[in-house]
Amino acid sequence: MPQRMQAAFVATVRQILSAVEKLAVFASALVPVLILSVVAWLLIRKLMTARA
């Protein structure tokens, strides 16, 4: 019984680490897009206020 519990625990920890890894990859792919979006938004906003 302890071996089964240990195997289940290790499998759970591996699943959690896999989920964290996928989240980190998603976040690292999203950061450049967010930065470019914010820069574009600020540029458009500045151009619109300069015309007014």
Q: Which pLDDT tens digit goes with each residue over 29-44?
A: 999 999 999 999 999 9
Q: Does the predicted model carry a pTM greater than 0.75?
A: no
Please tell me the distance from the alpha carbon of residue 24 to that of residue 22, in angstroms, as a whole number.
5
Q: How confident is the model at residue 50 (pLDDT cuts 50, 70, 90)?
A: confident
For residue 49 the two structure tokens come to: 């206020």
Q: DSSP letter string over 7-52?
A: HHHHHHHHHHHHHHHHHHHHHHHHHHHHHHHHHHHHHHHHHHHHH-
Radius of gyration of the chain (CA): 22
Cα within 13 Å of Cα(2), Cβ side: 0
Report, as an integer, the average pLDDT of 5-12.
97
Mean pLDDT of the chain: 95
Number of domains in the chain: 1
Give the domain extent around 16. Answer: 1-52
Report, as an integer, the average pLDDT of 16-41.
98
